[in-house]
Amino acid sequence: MIRSTISTRAMFWGVMASATLAGLSRVAVAQRTVAASDARSGEDRAEELLARPVTVNVDKASLANALNTIAKSARVRLQYRDALVASYTTPITMHFVRTPLGVALDRVLAKTSLRIVPVRDGSLSLAEASDLSDGNRTTGTVMGIVRDDKTHQPLRGASVTLDDSVQRTQTDNEGRYRFLTVPAGAHRIAVRFVGYARQAVLVTVSDDLTVTQDFTLSSSINTLDQVVVTATGAQRYRELGHIVSTINADSVVREAPVTSLSELLTARVPGLQVVTNNGGIVGGDVTLRIRGTSTLYLDAAPIVIVDGVRYRSDNFVGTSEDSRPFNAEPRGPLNDLNVNDIETIEVVKGPSASTLYGPDAANGAVVITTKRGKAGKTEWHVYAYPDVSTLSFGSNSQFFTAQKALQGWGHIPNTTTLYQGQCDLFAQAAKECVLDSLTVFSIPENDPQTAALAKQRPAWHSGASVSGGTVGFQYFYSGNFDSETGSLHLPPIAADMLKQQLGVAALSDAIRNPNTQQTLNLHASIASRINDATNITLVGNYTQATQRGIDPSFFYVQNVYAAIPDPGSDSAAILRAAQANSNAISYLSTTQQDVRRLTVAANGTVQPRPWLRADVSVGSDLDNTIDRGARIVGSQDPNDQGQADDQRRANTNRNAHLGLTMTQHPGILSFRTSLGTDYSYTNMDGLSTDGTNLAPGSVDISTATSQSVWRLWTEAASLGTFGEEVIGWRDRLFLTGSLRLDGSTTFGDAYTAHPFPKVGASWVVSDEPLVAPLRRLGMGDVRLRYSFGASSRYPTSFMKLGQIGVQHGTVEDQTQTLFARTQLPNAKLLPERSRESEYGLDATVWSVVQLGVTWYNRRSNDVLEPYGAPNGLLGEWLNAGDLSASGFEVTMAVKVFESSRMALNIQGSYANNTTKVLSLGSASTGGKGLTGSAAVGYPLNASFGRRTLSVIDTAGGVPDSIISSPTEVISSPIEYLGVLVAPKTYTVTPSLVLFGGRIRMSTLIDGQAGGVQYDFNDYLCAGTHTCTAGFLKSTPLMRQAATAVGNVGDYIRTSNFTRWREVNITGELPLSLRARLHLSQAAVSLQVRNLALWAPSAGKDPESTVGLGTGSAVGGGGYYGYTGIPQPTTWSVRFDLSP
């Protein structure tokens, strides 16, 4: 084989120029340099020409007739000499539907020696192949590398097609692609990749020659020709009436400080909020919300689909018995998936989610595709990134909520006698004492042995993958191991006290380091091409994790203030006294969760005809979870001999999908018909055992003298069928209409399918001939879109059927099985219904600014709400009322500067979501009360409470610095304090590329605004009546005193923040060094996560929100949200090596 590299652009123009010069009879191959702009313009025209769809049905026609029919369908002028085609007399039968002109012509001419040559004037001509090449050879090779235009880094996984799917491949780790045995002649090579603008070029292949065609792709927010994979198969973005956000996970993970899926999702999709319940806890749970909340009590998280399988991503199981033992922070199942195994993530936010993925997707869908193998040589990739995390507890530990012990010291009035007891505000007012000094003490801050409760803790993340295969079989295998130790640990002072209490010389590692996690991930993917029309892919993910959870009140070291020995005691003296106080630690527990999880999927594609495609996927997500916990130190009840809990759950998700897509392109119209059905089965089967009165010193539940056992059980199956029709006009206007029928057993034993419609429209305005002048002025793609959809949310089973509890106990001197109805049934319960409209605009201006704007409006009716009933009676569920949500999302990307050596880009997004309770329906009338605190006219997640307007010092007569009796004047009735989930979020992502991509820097800054949170420290301090105005400047003394009544409204603060989330600097090893090390790729990244936080309100990290709960987070002045462990700052160095 002769290997050569030909400049395709030059060759293309050379062909055209030569054709013009030589007349129509003969065309000679030549290479000629032309002006780049002219070449580009000509390429575009020719490309457009050969891409035109043709629909042809010809039976036993002559070659001339066939060619003319094709040309007519494509509205193209085809020139040739009659003699040239007269010699071919074989009758031709062909049926093409919406087939690219170039492909149709190639096939018609396949058994001839004729080839098509574009001509400058926009027509095509026919020529002898021998005139186009040096000999009579028939095939060649096309290969090349796909790179990022800014970083010049190879792009792995880009989709490359030859002649619109005649052949298809993906780039390997080094961005390479290759097509073998490509027939000689003109061919169209197109490259698509998530997050980049599509590119296509025409190449001419000569016999036995290798044509090298490299691509450099420009990043893009949403290019209209980007392909997204929805439940109805792959669709171009321009056809969709709704927005789909995509994340190129592989690229992000390599160059951003993310170690988990939740970190990968954080601040990368406008409208998607990732709430970390306790950021500082390793393995802690996260909650996803898309466009806020549309329900009060049902699961408000979007569904997660991994390779077509429903993936359990949260701990919502629809029962009240799903909490982890000992209040330990729940572990987040979302992060069981290894981010290094993810190829792409698509986030479906709009009203189409439930149309595509069923009623459970009413909150949106996160669709994850894991990595697949690529045909070619075996490729290895090894990565490792050790990191160090630390929590910040300085003297201004405003983001940590450790309790403070306070002791007021005073003397009895008119004496020098020390007042025995707490000289608090009351004692002062009663003239029992005169305050002399105040001892403020916090173990985490004052422990001289550590000076902090949190240590810097290293973690280790490492893994490797191998992939490769042939055209017919590809594989990808990977393994990953993470070992992390949480920053929080038992302070030495507490450890000493605990050793005394337990009577042991050393504490176990589980007590000293209560928060650790080890995770092993194995991923395997094999893909097989059965024949030209059939492909099968099998994917498996296995996760094994062990996590020690932590109760946020782990630090509840009590009674220290009771041990403060003398006025003026220093920390050391206090600690010595505390050590002597055997009751100082009243409650300490350890928990451990062991998880084994297997997710398998089989996906098959059958395309018997170019216009017909069937997609089948079946899969299951199984996990076995064992939660064990033990209270190391019991309560202060001497009869309590300790407690242990054991909770075992097996979660099963099984689902199957069958989809059928038919496309037709008659003339200027196109039709895309999709039919499909989804089956989903969910089951949670578990046992929860509580054991009390353990053997002395034991944490083993088997030693408990008393055990209670509950069975945990939920089960549901659902089935849905959908049909969708997309009608296109001139490839620039698309109308979508669909109908879905869904039913579920969660709604009771009778399956009744409910229909839900969807309509959508997408109009690529910029393709209209009328706006062509604007194109010349710099306007790029401009599209308007609209989508409307309706869906229903099914109640969980117990909501309709009520609940009957079962337990075992000793009654009438025998162990008996006992039953009791614990919740009334409601046979009339309806599903929640919601409908959502979405309007959007996508625009590109001067090729440097890309803008996306989306408005949406959602309405939820028959929202489910529990009717609580007075104490002693049984509650039930009601369809309570109506909710609304509306908002908008803006994304913008700006190429600030770009050259071959340097490029500066800025991306940003802003999202605003506003919710409102429109009515509470029949539940608010007729005397029935609701347990939640949703109030008509106020947002969801609202907080209500009273504020102290003033405090009347009745004993002292007038307010002064001494509070005698905190009779407060409170706001009445309860007032709205704010919304606990911030409605506004924003991100800014600048990136800088230097030295032609060898050095890459990026950072991510994000924040939120418009929300509130509670200030735990102020509340606690004031609640002890010991604070002085000088100690807590933020809370007036009078209000502190009034806290005795607990007006939480006095402690509401803004939760606004701006966080410097990510910083990354990546450098490529020099080529010479890579060559010496035999590495094809080698990069080192310095990464920092959570580098800085700016928040106007003290109290706690606004992102460490406890108690967001399920759908509701119904505020109601609840006390949750006080505590929270801050997001740790993590420094890491990542090495990515490919031999």
Partner 1 sequence: MSMTSLVRCSVLVVTCMGLVGCHSLLDVTDPTQITASDIATVTGANGQRLLVSQSFGGDLAGVFREVAAFTDEWSYDFPPTANIANDRLIQLDKRRGDVIQAGNGSDNHLGLLTNIYSQAGIVIPAVTAYSPDSVRGEYLAQLYAMRGYAVLQMAEDLCPGFPVTDIINNITVYGGPLSTDSALGLASAQLDSALKYVRDSTRFVALARVTKGRVLLDRGKYDEAAAVVASVPTDVVYRSEQDIRIIMSTFYCATCTILSLGDHEGANGLPFVSAHDPRIPLRRLGPRRVNPSDTLYATTLGSSPSDRITLASGVEARLIQAEVALHDNSANWKPILDSLRTGIGLDTLVDPGTADSRLDLLYRERAFWLFLTGHRLGDLRRLIRNYGRGAETVFPTGAYPGGDGSRYGTSTSIPFILAEQLRYNPYITSGCQDGP
Under rule CB under 8 A, which residues in 700-729 are in contact with partner 1? 711-719, 721
Toward partner 1, which CB reaches closer, 751 or 846?
A: 751
Contact flags string 469-498 toward partner 1, x per CB under 8 A: ------------------------------
Sign of CA dihedral 1110, 1112, 1117, 1123: positive
The residue type of 843 is A
Query: Which tokens in the block code for residue 838?
Result: 């979405």
Count of residues touching partner 1 (by CB under 8 A): 84
Site of tokens 């099998």: 538
Toward partner 1, which CB reaches closer, 104 or 1020?
A: 1020
Q: Indicate which single residue of 19, 348, 427, 443 sits in contact with partner 1 (rule: CB under 8 A).
A: 427
Site of tokens 């002395």: 696
Tell me how crowded residue 105 is: count the other CB atoms within 10 A of its CB: 27
Considering only residues 111 through 150, tell me which ones interact with partner 1, judged by CB under 8 A: none
Quick check: 612 binds partner 1 (CB under 8 A)?
A: yes
CA distance linking residue 581 with residue 579, whole number of Å: 5
Quick check: 60 binds partner 1 (CB under 8 A)?
A: no
Whole-number minimum distance, CB 57 to partner 1, in Å? 11
Quick check: 921 binds partner 1 (CB under 8 A)?
A: no
CA distances from 107 to 4, 68, 112, 272 (A): 26, 14, 10, 47
At 251, is the secondary structure helix, strand, or coil?
helix
CA distance linking residue 888 with residue 840, whole number of Å: 9
CA distance linking residue 290 with residue 360, whole number of Å: 13
Toward partner 1, which CB reaches closer, 1023 or 1067?
A: 1023
Toward partner 1, which CB reaches closer, 712 or 774?
A: 712
160 by Cβ neighbours in 10 Å (0-12 / 13-18 / 19+) ranks as buried
Q: Indicate which single residue of 23, 503, 870, 1030 sits in contact with partner 1 (rule: CB under 8 A).
A: 870
Whole-number minimum distance, CB 582 to partner 1, in Å? 10
The interface region with partner 1, picked from 388-396, 434-442, 505-513, 926-934 by CB under 8 A, is: 926-934
Q: Please check whether residue 845 is in contact with residue 877, taking contact to mean a CB–CB distance below 8 angstroms.
A: no
Considering only residues 809 through 828, tell me which ones interact with partner 1, judged by CB under 8 A: 809-812, 816-821, 824-825
Considering only residues 826 through 855, tell me which ones interact with partner 1, judged by CB under 8 A: none
Whole-number minimum distance, CB 134 to partner 1, in Å? 42
Site of tokens 């980007």: 226
Whole-number minimum distance, CB 1121 to partner 1, in Å? 19
Q: Indicate which single residue of 65, 139, 553, 583 sits in contact with partner 1 (rule: CB under 8 A).
A: 583
Toward partner 1, which CB reaches closer, 82 or 532?
A: 532
Quick check: 565 binds partner 1 (CB under 8 A)?
A: no
Toward partner 1, which CB reaches closer, 921 or 1067?
A: 921
Q: Indicate which single residue of 107, 732, 928, 984 sits in contact with partner 1 (rule: CB under 8 A).
A: 928
Whole-number minimum distance, CB 926 to partner 1, in Å? 7
Whole-number minimum distance, CB 792 to partner 1, in Å? 16
Q: Indicate which single residue of 801, 893, 1021, 1095 sits in contact with partner 1 (rule: CB under 8 A).
A: 801
CA distances from 725 to 227, 237, 663, 762, 969 (A): 18, 16, 10, 13, 63
Query: Which tokens in the block code for residue 795?
Result: 């109640």
Site of tokens 């076995």: 624
Whole-number minimum distance, CB 623 to partner 1, in Å? 19
CA distance linking residue 862 with residue 295, whole number of Å: 10
The interface region with partner 1, picked from 39-47, 490-498, 1018-1026, 1089-1097 by CB under 8 A, is: 1018-1026
Quick check: 803 binds partner 1 (CB under 8 A)?
A: yes
Q: Indicate which single residue of 802, 866, 945, 997 sits in contact with partner 1 (rule: CB under 8 A).
A: 802
Considering only residues 1027 through 1046, tell me which ones interact with partner 1, judged by CB under 8 A: 1044-1046
Considering only residues 623 through 682, tell me which ones interact with partner 1, judged by CB under 8 A: 636-639, 658, 660, 662, 664, 675-677, 679
Considering only residues 780 through 799, tell me which ones interact with partner 1, judged by CB under 8 A: 797-798
Quick check: 869 binds partner 1 (CB under 8 A)?
A: yes
Q: Indicate which single residue of 94, 440, 741, 906 sits in contact with partner 1 (rule: CB under 8 A).
A: 741
Q: What is the DSSP letter of 47?
A: H
Q: Indicate which single residue of 1024, 1080, 1112, 1123 sits in contact with partner 1 (rule: CB under 8 A).
A: 1024
Toward partner 1, which CB reaches closer, 660 or 733?
A: 660
Q: E-assigned strands of 565-642?
A: 588-609, 612-633
Toward partner 1, which CB reaches closer, 430 or 896?
A: 430
Quick check: 973 binds partner 1 (CB under 8 A)?
A: no
The interface region with partner 1, picked from 108-116, 385-393, 835-843, 862-870 by CB under 8 A, is: 862-870
Whole-number minimum distance, CB 405 to partner 1, in Å? 11
CA distance linking residue 299 with residue 278, whole number of Å: 20
Whole-number minimum distance, CB 975 to partner 1, in Å? 15
336 phi and psi angles, rounded to 5 deg: -65, -25
Q: Indicate which single residue of 748, 990, 1036, 1067 sits in contact with partner 1 (rule: CB under 8 A).
A: 748
CA distance linking residue 823 with residue 830, whole number of Å: 17
Whole-number minimum distance, CB 426 to partner 1, in Å? 7
Quick check: 751 binds partner 1 (CB under 8 A)?
A: yes
Site of tokens 């020409």: 49
Toward partner 1, which CB reaches closer, 258 or 801?
A: 801
Quick check: 426 binds partner 1 (CB under 8 A)?
A: yes
For residue 353, give the H/E element and its range. helix 352-357
Q: Indicate which single residue of 135, 472, 608, 1096 sits in contact with partner 1 (rule: CB under 8 A).
A: 608
How far is Cα of residue 35 from the mean position of the Cα atoms in its chain? 46
For residue 282, give the H/E element and its range. none
Whole-number minimum distance, CB 715 to partner 1, in Å? 5
Q: Please check whether residue 346 is in contact with residue 353, taking contact to mean a CB–CB distance below 8 angstroms.
A: no
Half-sphere exposure for 554 (CA within 13 Å, toward CB): 29
Whole-number minimum distance, CB 803 to partner 1, in Å? 6
Whole-number minimum distance, CB 616 to partner 1, in Å? 10
Quick check: 503 binds partner 1 (CB under 8 A)?
A: no
Angle subtended by helix axes 101-108 and 63-74, to nearest 10 = 180
CA distance linking residue 90 with residue 24, whole number of Å: 24
Residues 6+ apart with CB under 8 A from 186: 50, 102, 115, 116, 117, 118, 202, 203, 204, 205
Q: E-assigned strands of 206-254?
A: 210-212, 215-217, 227-230, 233-236, 244-247
Toward partner 1, which CB reaches closer, 394 or 809?
A: 809
The number of helices, as runs of H, and strands, as runs of E, in the chain is 19, 55
Nearest in space to 645 (alpha carbons), one of 696, 704, 701? 701
Considering only residues 327 through 386, tell me which ones interact with partner 1, judged by CB under 8 A: none
Quick check: 430 binds partner 1 (CB under 8 A)?
A: yes
Furthest-apart CA pair in the chain: how many Å? 127
Toward partner 1, which CB reaches closer, 556 or 713?
A: 713
Toward partner 1, which CB reaches closer, 182 or 930?
A: 930
CA distance linking residue 1062 with residue 1130, whole number of Å: 10
Q: Please check whether residue 678 is in contact with residue 357, taking contact to mean a CB–CB distance below 8 angstroms.
A: yes
Q: Please check whether residue 1112 is in contact with residue 1118, taking contact to mean a CB–CB distance below 8 angstroms.
A: no
Residues 6+ apart with CB under 8 A from 677: 657, 658, 719, 720, 721, 722
Q: Indicate which single residue of 569, 651, 746, 912 sits in contact with partner 1 (rule: CB under 8 A).
A: 746
At 355, is the secondary structure helix, strand, or coil?
helix
Quick check: 421 binds partner 1 (CB under 8 A)?
A: yes
Q: Please check whether residue 448 is in contact with residue 406, taking contact to mean a CB–CB distance below 8 angstroms.
A: no
Quick check: 807 binds partner 1 (CB under 8 A)?
A: yes
